[in-house]
Copies of this chain bind each other. A is one copy, B any other.
Amino acid sequence: MQTLQEKASQWSGVDTADAFAIDDTNLFQKLGLQTFINLSTNFYTRVYDDEEEEWFRSIFSNSKKEEAIQNQYEFFVQRMGGPPLYSQRKGHPALIARHRPFPVTHQAAERWLYHMEKALESTPDIDADSRVKMMNFFRHTAFFLVAGDELKTQKQQIPCKHAASKPAEL
């Protein structure tokens, strides 16, 4: 059985080393807080205005735009070398569990990435090297979440007091 990571690499076409090349430099120190705020604002402005793909926009229709922006940039800042803003406010990122309410399909991942690529291109101060690193991270992560989404449809295990649950290969 493939692990989450293996599925993410296969579907995204981005291997693990490239996905986590974001850790080779401290992108937060390089880009600064305002750039991350601008990126997430650009991204969600595009998403909430997505009239071409109404099904995609509708995924976010029960979420407040301002909150979506804050959740996203705080996570990016924390993961890319900055202060742990996300955890201080909301706890562990727990990426798969927190995406549980949303239908994270291959198609949704591609649309998310389409908007993120445009948002990266339209955010000043993000140099080409940072953009490539971030895009590889985002692409791998998006398909990691698609892999995580599949767990929702797996048969639930019933905990048994005297027998161990067989752990799935995650």
- Say if the beta carbon of A62 comes within 8 Å of chain B: yes
- Say if the beta carbon of A87 comes within 8 Å of chain B: yes
Q: Which residues of B are found within 8 Å of A164, using beta-carbon distances? A: 58-62
Which of the 9-residue segments A32-40, A96-104, A115-123 touches chain B? Answer: A96-104
Query: Closest approach, in angstroms, between the C-beta of A151 and any C-beta of chain B?
Result: 6
What is the CA–CA distance of A98 and B140 in the complex, to the nearest angstrom?
17
Contact residues on A (Cβ < 8 Å of other chain), bracket: 35 or more
- Say if the beta carbon of A10 comes within 8 Å of chain B: no
Q: Which residues of B are found within 8 Å of A92, using beta-carbon distances? A: 93, 95-96, 141, 144
Query: Closest approach, in angstroms, between the C-beta of A33 and any C-beta of chain B?
Result: 16
Contacting residue for A168 out of B5, B58, B90, B100, CB 8 A: B100
B61, A23: Cβ atoms under 8 Å? no
A88, B17: Cβ atoms under 8 Å? yes
- Of all chain B residues, the one with the shortest Cβ separation from A149 is B159
23 residue pairs bridging A and B, Cβ less than 8 Å apart: A16-B88, A16-B91, A20-B88, A55-B162, A59-B165, A62-B166, A63-B167, A91-B140, A91-B144, A92-B93, A94-B94, A94-B95, A94-B97, A94-B148, A97-B97, A97-B148, A97-B170, A101-B157, A101-B166, A101-B168, A102-B167, A103-B159, A152-B156
